[in-house]
Amino acid sequence: MFLIRSAFLIAVIVAVMPSDPREQAKLYQTASHALHRAATFCERNETLCKEAHAHWEVFKVKAGVAAHMARELVNERLSGETPASTVPAGRLEPYSASDTLTPTDREPEWRHRVRAHL
């Protein structure tokens, strides 16, 4: 299925390409200019790129914590045992759930019976 979708996408791209040599040159020049602008974005916006880099570093740390939590949860489910806290120092502590519900809490809420009108 992937090959069929890829072939279709390539066919669409080829179909919309201009056949006139002047239009092809114009398209090439526009694409080249857009690529140059994208490649030199950080040279023109240093402050923005520095802030983005700082945010990216925070994102990577959070992603690492999430991956660690997911791995531990999967391992816990597969092994059937509750592991000791293996969260690295300086990271978030795992949530320890305790059963605090009483039997009254577990009862379903009262519901009013709806009478059918005949």
- Sequence-separated (6 or more) residues with CB below 8 Å from residue 31: none
- What are the angstrom distances between the C-alpha of 9 and each of 2, 24, 84? 11, 19, 51
pLDDT tens digits in sequence order for the chain, 118 residues long? 899 999 999 999 999 999 999 999 999 999 999 999 999 999 999 999 999 999 999 999 999 999 999 999 999 888 876 555 555 555 555 555 567 777 887 777 776 666 666 5
**How much is the pLDDT for 68?**
95
**How much is the pLDDT for 36?**
96
Closest among 105, 50, 97, 103 to 76, alpha carbons compared? 97
**How much is the pLDDT for 77?**
86
